[in-house]
Copies of this chain bind each other. A is one copy, B any other.
Amino acid sequence: MTYGEDRIYKKVEVIGVSCKGIEGAIQAAVAKAHRSLDKISWFEVQEVRGHVGDDGQITEYQVVLKVAFQLKE
């Protein structure tokens, strides 16, 4: 990539879910988006949420992300 050249990126909103904390949910989302959508360049966290079990323990973190990738001609 060279600055100043015309190009276009697309941003897609995904939700990563993991029991391994916030970074775990981000990594899972980015890795899966990379495989099933396209080669991701960067991400932006939108929301952090989570589910709580009957015992008051956090069973999973849910992170809403925007992931961005370059559109080829």
Contact = CB atoms under 8 A, between A and B. Distances in A.
A42 B31 contact: no
B35 A56 contact: yes
What is the size category of the interface that chain A forms with chain B? 35 or more
B71 A54 contact: no
Contacts of A15: 8-11, 68
Given A8-B28, A11-B13, 10 more contacts: A5-B60, A8-B15, A23-B61, A30-B58, A34-B52, A40-B56, A41-B52, A43-B58, A44-B48, A45-B48
9 contacts: A3-B59, A4-B60, A8-B28, A9-B14, A15-B68, A27-B58, A37-B71, A39-B54, A45-B47
